[in-house]
Structure 1
Amino acid sequence: MPAAVGTIETLGFPAVLAAADAMVKAGAVTLVYYGIAERGNFIVTIRGKISEVNVAIAAGIEAAEKVYGGQVIEYYIIPNPDENVVTVMPIEYTQKVEQFRMF
């Protein structure tokens, strides 16, 4: 089943934590990646049905911006990413997150 990928990059850890929590609560999505970018930026990535990812990303952005000093640097949604992108980028459902997979 095709799944969308959504990612949010924030300034600082508290904002990315709030975004991740809001996303998994707002939509039937699975958190598949978390990482540190340059200059204190953090990235969180989710996967799920396109409609669920859209709702979850919106909730994540709102939550991150409510954190004191929280700032969303970038966000992006890719509906139905190509298999090559899924294979090469760290957005695959891993064994570690498979238990949380929503579909």
Structure 2
Amino acid sequence: MPQAVGVIEALGFPATLAAADAMLKAGRVTLVYFDKAERGNFYIAIRGSVSEVASAMAAGLEAGEACFGGKIMTHYTVPNPPENIVSVLPIHYTDQVEAFRVY
């Protein structure tokens, strides 16, 4: 099954939390990464099948914008990322998230 990666950067932790919550509830995806970006921005990355990531990203974008004071700064989806990208960037399934991986 082709895999995809979806990334959202949001202003403020509440908007990031709302986006992550909506994404995980809207699609069969796994949250694989979270970190601070800059100036109060945070970013999250999800993995799953191409169609599931697409629907989860739509829900996450809507929820992040709907959060009081929330603003989505940027977002991107990569369908079928090459193994080189997955092995170098922090978007692979780690031991920490493997227990939550959705097949």
**Letter paired with 1:47:** R
**Letter paired with 1:57:** M
Which residue of structure 1 aligns with residue 39 of structure 2? 39
Task: Flag as ranges the 4+ runs of structure 1 deviating above 2 A.
Answer: none
Gaps of 5+ in 1: none
Which residue of structure 2 aligns with residue 52 of structure 1? 52
Which residue of structure 1 aligns with residue 81 of structure 2? 81
For normalisation by structure 1, the TM-score amounts to: 0.98
Gaps of 5+ in 2: none
SS in 2 for 1:38: coil
**Letter paired with 2:24:** V
Which residue of structure 2 aligns with residue 3 of structure 1? 3
User: How far is the alpha carbon of 1:2 from its aligned partner?
Assistant: 3.2
Distance in 2 (alpha carbons) for counterparts of 1:52 and 1:46 = 10
Distance in 2 (alpha carbons) for counterparts of 1:55 and 1:64 = 14
**Letter paired with 2:7:** T
SS in 1 for 2:62: helix
Indicate the RMSD between aligned Cα atoms, in angstroms.
Answer: 0.7
Distance in 1 (alpha carbons) for counterparts of 2:68 and 2:25 = 21
Identity %: 62
Q: Deviations over 1:1-51 (max 9, x none)?
A: 431000000000000000000000000000000010011100010000000
**Aligned counterparts, 1:4-19, within 5 A:** 4-19=4-19
